[in-house]
Structure 1
Amino acid sequence: MKLKPCNAFFFASLLSLHLVAQPPVTKAEVIPITEAIADDPEVQKVIEPLAAEIKATFGQPLVQAPQGVFRGRRGEENLLGYWVSDVMRHAAQPLVGVPVRFAITNAGGLRANLRPGQIKVGDIFELMPFENELVVVELTGAEVIQVVKEGLLRRGGEPCSGVKVKVEGTPQQATLTVTWEDGSAIDPSAVVKVATTDYLYAGGDSIPTLKKGRKPFTTGVTLRQMLLDQCTAIGKAGKELLPPAPGRYVVPASIQEAIRDKTFKL
């Protein structure tokens, strides 16, 4: 049977692919990076000036924090988280041009305490090593309360600004009260501006109600930069960085323990 030119070309192509020698298969080898591996001189020429610049920048002083600002441990309030959420809320207002009633971040994103003494640029990078950005959304008052509730069940209360939270009763029978920071009631139907992070808005850290946020406005500003700007402003004003007052969350020790043991329901 005589093949048509197109068919002959097709079979010839298959035959050529079959006859081409296949590259040998080599087994991957894990090579640990240790001091035994010498630095590449050409790479070091590029890295060294950059490393020196970064080191100098990280050592730049910003503000004095005589008491330090801490995350708190096992029932202690997260004053560092309060400060971060305050900065978020107040930084968001001029960006959207209207009052921002509520802000929330996640305790897991705060990776270091601010120790007493001189706060430097590197300290803020240790506190906030991520590129999380500030986002402003709209929620109803009922949704704000639900966000607080989800944060409470998740970690005993995620750092918030603009509200006060009180849990009363026992782990078996508890009541939750959430008011604005001045003690006034939250109108469940009112629509308010809320500042959060792009990470939480995308559904991170099990606060699903934040994903319901409407009219999202991504500021393009990282939380780290806001904290750096705030520390710089306080330092230039000749003031000290002090921790916010406690009392935003009032939760009995027995309920805190039940939350940690994942036996608390609200």
Structure 2
Amino acid sequence: MKKIVALLAIFLMFACAEEKQSVSRIEGKRININDSLTADQEIEAYVKPFRERIEEDMNKVLSYAPKDMHKNDGELETTIGNLMSDLIKSQSEPIYKKRTGKSIDICLLNHGGIRAPIPKGPIKTQTAFNVMPFENSIVVAELTAANIRNMVAYLAEAKRAHPISGLTIKVDDDFNVKEALVNGKPIEDGKTYTVVTSDYLQNGGDRMDFLKDPESLEILDYKIRNAMIDYFKSTDTIPAKLDGRFVKQ
């Protein structure tokens, strides 16, 4: 009898081992999150002071915009793009100079990174979050003259208002580069130039591969959005200008 029980147990073990499991059907249903879901009052009471503090901070007026500024108010340069590149360059300069003893030559950002306009009127903390919702940080890459020329070629080929500061470009009607100046001077062979930009672009974002292999790289530990907020706090009325830094002639 014991032998029969043992044989039966072995048989069942192998039978179970060979049995294949498979999913015959997957079902799901949509649960809408709306006002019909009642809030937990205890959690609401706990969260309320934090929410009110955040709302207060977000609605704090920092500066003033004299006109609407958006990324489509110019062909190759825009008011908001000029503002962004200029302020990132000016806010980063003292940090970089203190660390390295060098100045920043150029700022380069990307057109697509500007996610909202700045409307005429009071500028609030929320404005900076609307324009720059990403957690992009500021870096300074030291590039060869060859890569600066690659940058200029990229901008001319893109035919898009990528924000620049410290760099002026003139192109003809076919977008051939007629002139490119860094701080008013021609690009010099054998010289290196410092470019402040975002960590996203420095890693090759938006196909800006000329930033990927710099001679040196300084990570400022300073987010673009925070630089915007600091600038707004220190500036009563922000400039809104098109100044011919990238033009077709």
Short-chain TM bin = 0.7 to 0.9
- TM-score normalized by the length of structure 1: 0.77
Q: Which residue of 2 aligns with 1:248?
A: 245
Aligned-residue Cα RMSD (Å) equals: 2.8
Q: Aligned partners of 2:149, 2:56: CA distance in 1, in Å?
A: 44
Superposed displacement of residue 15, structure 1: 9.2
Q: Aligned partners of 1:131, 1:155: CA distance in 2, in Å?
A: 27
Deviation digits for residues 216-252 of structure 1, max 9, x if unmatched? 1111110111111111111xxxx42112442011126
Structure 2: runs of 5 or more not aligned: 1-12
- TM-score normalized by the length of structure 2: 0.82
Structure 1: runs of 5 or more not aligned: 1-12, 253-266
Q: Which residue of 2 aligns with 1:162?
A: 166
1:179 alignment partner, SS class: strand
State the AA in 1 paired with 2:216: K
Deviation digits for residues 170-216 of structure 1, max 9, x if unmatched? 36xx334211232x211132112110100101111121111122321
* Aligned residues between the structures: 234
Query: Contact conserved, 1:67 with 1:242, CA < 8 A, in 2?
Result: no
Q: Which residue of 2 aligns with 1:259?
A: none
Q: Percent identity?
A: 24
Q: Aligned partners of 1:91, 1:144: CA distance in 2, in Å?
A: 22
Q: Aligned partners of 1:155, 1:101: CA distance in 2, in Å?
A: 22
Map 1:101-180 onto structure 2 (within 5 A).
101-170=105-174, 174-180=176-182
Query: Contact conserved, 1:138 with 1:191, CA < 8 A, in 2?
Result: yes
Q: Aligned partners of 2:217, 2:59: CA distance in 1, in Å?
A: 36
Q: Aligned partners of 1:155, 1:28: CA distance in 2, in Å?
A: 47
Please say which of residues 38-47 and 113-122 is displaced more in the overlay. Answer: 38-47
Deviation digits for residues 134-171 of structure 1, max 9, x if unmatched? 00111012212211321332352411110111101436
After the TM superposition, list the runs of 4 or more consecutive aligned residues in structure 1 that deviate by more than 3 angstroms.
13-19
Q: Which residue of 1 aligns with 2:77?
A: 77
Distance change (3 Å), C-alpha of 1:109 and 1:46: farther
Query: Contact conserved, 1:103 with 1:195, CA < 8 A, in 2?
Result: yes
State the AA in 1 paired with 2:48: E
Query: Contact conserved, 1:102 with 1:162, CA < 8 A, in 2?
Result: yes
